[in-house]
C-alpha cells in the first residue's frame, strides 16, 4: 500500500491571503520525511490553489514521485507533457465545485475521444496514466479500453455514509478493485478518507495506493505535517496485518 499525500490544501491557505506562505513545496518535504510514498497535486484550470511554480519546483525537489491531477481538456495537459511527472491522473473539473465530487463521465463518444487522446499524449510522453472514476464495473472496463495504466476509485460515497450503507459502499469498492486488478489495471483510491474511516478500505488487498490530503493537512494544524503523515502511514501498515 502506497500513501500519496495531496498538498493542495496547503496551497489553499496560501492563496487565501495571496502571499508566499505556507509553501506547498516545503510541505511536500515534510510529508516525505513523515513517510509519504508520493506527492499528489491538482493543477486546476482556474489555478485556485496549486500554481505552475509549485509543480515545477516539486518536479525538481521531490525525493519520492509526483502524481499530477489534471483535466483532460485543459492547458495543463501540455504542461504535463513538458514536466513529465511519474503519474498523471485525469479527473473531472467544474468551476463551481469546492473539490472534485465524482468520477469521470465515461459515457458518450465525445468524452471518450477527449480521454483517449489525453491518455495517448501522456503515455507518449512516458507518463503513467490513471483515471479517476466511480467504482462501477462499466467505468473500470472503459478505463482499460481507453488505455489507462490505472484507475483511482472515488471513495466519496463511502466516506459520506455510515453503518450498513457504508458497508455496502465498501463492498462496491472492493468489487471494483478486484475487477480492475483482474483486467491488469493498477488500483488506487481516494476522496474524503480520514484517520477514522480509512482502515477498512486500506485492508482491501487489490488497492495499492491511497491519495489522502484534507484530513492529513487538517491534523497537521495541531500536530505538524511530518507527524500527521507518519500517523496515517502507520494506520495503513496495520490495516494489512
Burial class (CB in 10 A: 0-12, 13-18, 19+), 3: buried
Buried/exposed code over 195-213 (b: 16+ C-beta within 10 A; e: otherwise): eebbeebbbbebbbbbbbb
Q: Is there a catalytic annotation at residue 238?
A: no
Identify the active-site residue in 42, 49, 154, 188.
42
Identify the active-site residue in 32, 69, 152, 157.
69
Q: Is there a catalytic annotation at residue 214?
A: no
CA angle 213, 27, 17 (to 5 degrees): 85
Q: Is there a catalytic annotation at residue 69?
A: yes
Identify the active-site residue in 191, 206, 209, 226.
191
Complete DSSP assignment for 108-146: SHHHHHHHHHHHHHHHHTT-EEEEEE-S-HHHHHHHHHT
**Which residues belong to the active site?**
42, 69, 191
Amino acid at each position: 500500500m502506497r500513501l500519496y499525500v495531496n498538498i493542495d490544501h496547503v496551497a489553499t491557505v496560501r492563496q487565501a491571503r495571496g502571499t508566499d506562505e505556507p509553501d506547498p513545496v516545503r510541505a511536500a518535504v515534510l510529508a516525505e520525511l513523515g513517510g509519504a510514498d508520493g506527492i499528489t497535486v491538482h493543477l486546476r484550470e482556474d489555478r485556485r490553489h496549486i500554481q505552475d511554480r509549485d509543480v515545477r519546483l516539486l518536479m525538481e525537489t521531490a525525493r519520492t514521485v509526483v502524481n499530477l491531477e489534471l483535466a483532460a481538456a485543459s492547458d495543463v495537459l501540455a504542461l504535463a507533457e513538458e514536466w513529465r511527472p511519474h503519474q498523471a491522473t485525469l479527473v473531472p473539473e467544474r468551476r463551481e465545485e469546492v473539490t472534485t465530487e465524482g468520477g469521470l463521465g465515461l459515457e458518450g463518444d465525445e468524452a471518450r475521444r477527449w480521454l483517449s487522446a489525453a491518455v495517448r499524449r501522456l503515455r507518449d510522453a512516458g507518463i503513467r496514466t490513471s483515471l479517476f472514476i466511480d467504482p462501477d464495473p462499466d467505468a473500470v472496463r472503459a478505463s482499460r479500453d481507453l488505455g489507462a495504466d490505472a484507475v483511482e476509485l472515488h471513495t466519496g460515497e463511502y466516506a459520506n455514509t455510515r453503518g450498513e450503507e457504508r458497508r455496502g459502499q465498501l463492498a462496491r469498492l472492493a468489487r471494483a478493485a478486484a475487477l480492475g486488478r483482474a483486467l491488469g489495471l493498477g488500483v488506487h483510491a481516494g476522496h474524503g478518507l480520514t484517520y477514522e474511516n480509512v482502515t477498512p478500505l486500506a485492508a482491501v488487498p487489490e488497492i495499492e495506493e491511497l491519495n489522502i490530503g484534507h484530513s492529513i493537512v487538517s491534523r497537521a494544524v495541531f500536530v505538524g505535517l511530518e507527524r500527521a503523515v507518519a500517523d496515517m502511514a502507520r494506520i495503513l501498515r496495520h490495516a494489512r496485518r
